[in-house]
Amino acid sequence: MNKVISVGSQFPEFKKIAVSANALIADAPGKEFETISNAVHTASGQWMVMFWWPKDFTFVCPTEIASFNNAYGEFSDRDTVLIGASTDSEFVHLAWRRDHEDLRGLKFPMLADTSKSLADELGILQADEKIAYRATYIVDPQGIIRWVNINDLSVGRNVDEVLRVLDALQTDELCPCNWKKGEETLTTQMANN
């Protein structure tokens, strides 16, 4: 396993098959899959949040995926591309979306890293099973990793915290502990004194 790529590093280049956000729309047969790459956010000057889960057809993972989906509009409002990912294949992703009620209406793609090359390059593969840890990356429009959070396999993440950190990073100012969007930053406070 590689060392975890962290804050300040360039996010690795990738080009992977994903289940399209419109995979289950009745008028989109044959358009279940798409190829996505770094260009999905860097070419458009957007931020990217990529979050990983260990396995499809499990118990904690759909709660997180549904929570990210419920917040999709908030990520979009922040000019941020949202991508979900695991080491399962695009066919397993599609079957899971069709099978699980909470996953049918996903608004973001589910990346399939079947070669495990991207997860390995990121350093997030669990040693025994070679599945991804629950890793979340916030990447700026230049492709630089600005935040990483990795949970153990049994613990789900907090989507509100991902949004809070994204908001803080997008201010490009000093933000104190527990800062929330709309509050004064330390930079503003220092300028006012």
- Separation of alpha carbons 59 and 62, rounded Å: 6
Q: Strand 110-112 vs strand 80-86: parallel, antiparallel, or unpaired?
A: parallel
CATH number at residue 141: 3.40.30.10
pLDDT-derived band at 25 (thresholds 50, 70, 90) equals low
pLDDT in tens, 81-124: 999 999 998 988 888 888 877 767 888 899 999 999 999 999 99
pLDDT for the residue 29: 63
- Inter-helix orientation angle 159-171/60-70, to 10°: 40
pLDDT-derived band at 148 (thresholds 50, 70, 90) equals very high
Phi, psi of 151 (to 5 degrees): -105, 155
pLDDT for the residue 129: 87
pLDDT for the residue 82: 95
Q: For residue 6, is it within any domain? A: no
Q: For residue 5, is it within any domain? A: no
pLDDT in tens, 36-74: 998 888 888 999 999 998 988 877 777 788 889 899 999
Q: For residue 2, is it within any domain? A: no
pLDDT in tens, 120-144: 999 999 888 899 999 999 999 999 9
Q: For residue 88, is it within any domain? A: yes
Q: What is the mean pLDDT of residues 158-183?
A: 90
Residues 6+ apart with CB under 8 A from 23: 31, 32, 33, 94, 97, 106
pLDDT for the residue 27: 56
Q: For residue 9, is it within any domain? A: no
Does the pLDDT at position 4 exceed 70? yes
pLDDT for the residue 30: 67
pLDDT-derived band at 188 (thresholds 50, 70, 90) equals low
Nearest to 181 by CA among 152, 156, 158, 160: 160
Average pLDDT, the chain: 87
Number of independent structural domains in the chain: 1
Q: For residue 4, is it within any domain? A: no
pLDDT-derived band at 149 (thresholds 50, 70, 90) equals very high
The residues assigned a catalytic role are: 61
Q: For residue 167, is it within any domain? A: yes
Does the pLDDT at position 192 exceed 80? no
Structure tokens given for 16: 């992977």
Print the domain residue range for 44: 15-192
pLDDT for the residue 191: 64
Q: For residue 3, is it within any domain? A: no
pLDDT for the residue 32: 84
